[in-house]
Amino acid sequence: MVLIIFLRDYKFRPSEKPLSCLHATPFSLWLKLNSHTTKTEGSMPVEEGPTRQERYKCGLSKPCPEGHFSFKMASGAASVVGPKICLEDNILMSGVKNNVGRGINIALVNGKTGDLIKTDYFDMWAGDVNTLITFLKTIEEGTVVMMATFDDSASKLNDESKKMIGELGSSSISTLGFRDNWIFVGGKGIKTKSPFEQHIKNNADTNKYEGWPEVLEMEGCIPQRQE
């Protein structure tokens, strides 16, 4: 089924087609496969040329229903490749855009229009958690909040910052640890826990890379805020 964020004052439209969420995957190479079909005219088979696979917003595997925003995001990879956040075919944050950094990367989106409000990142290894807390306090009701980690994002987190992120719908923020990977989509005013969240622990026995777990990826459909 389509994963939906339940934000206050939102109206939801059920999806007729399920959209899967990908998580805990390594660096992914998305391949578009051309298919060949055959048909007969009389008794002679005729091979058709390759058909182009339809592309959906942000490279999703299936389209989102009307009244929803398509999104796809990935956490950072070790301390080398930054996170990436896409919404409605627009790259909001990435290494190429040069607007990501160590710690927690955040994109704020208007829940009604899908327009980007602002982006920022907060260094939770050497930075000041109070800058993150100040930022979180500015988030307005109905805002969609997209977060992705890069390198270490937990060392400077305190109870106040974790509580504020939990109020945005996160279930995993309370257990986020040193060099864990985590991606999350929530919202200001959410009344339940968001289904859009993935978390993988930094564990020397299971890490994909030396000192870091594997990259997390997630895609889905965020319901547009209705008046």
| Residue at 195 is within a domain | yes
- Both tokens of 32, joined, read 């578009």
Q: Are 5 and 205 in contact (CB under 8 A)?
A: no
| Dihedral sign for Cα atoms in the order 80, 109, 181, 198 | negative
Instruction: Report, as an integer, the average pLDDT of 94-104.
Output: 96
| 137/41 Cα distance (integer angstroms) | 67
| Residue at 32 is within a domain | no
What is the residue-averaged pLDDT of the chain?
80
| Residue at 137 is within a domain | yes
Could you list the residue range(s) of the whole structural domain that residue 116 is in?
56-223
| Residue at 178 is within a domain | yes
| Residue at 35 is within a domain | no
Encode pLDDT of 20-65 as tens digits: 333 333 322 222 222 222 233 344 444 455 556 678 999 998 999 9
| Residue at 209 is within a domain | yes
The number of domains in the chain is 1
Q: Are 104 and 122 in contact (CB under 8 A)?
A: yes
| Residue at 126 is within a domain | yes
* Per-residue confidence (pLDDT) for residue 50, from 0 to 100: 57
* Per-residue confidence (pLDDT) for residue 213, from 0 to 100: 80
| Confidence (pTM) | 0.76
If 0-12 CB within 10 Å is exposed, 13-18 middle and 19+ buried, where does residue 39 land? exposed
Encode pLDDT of 193-216 as tens digits: 999 999 988 887 878 777 778 889
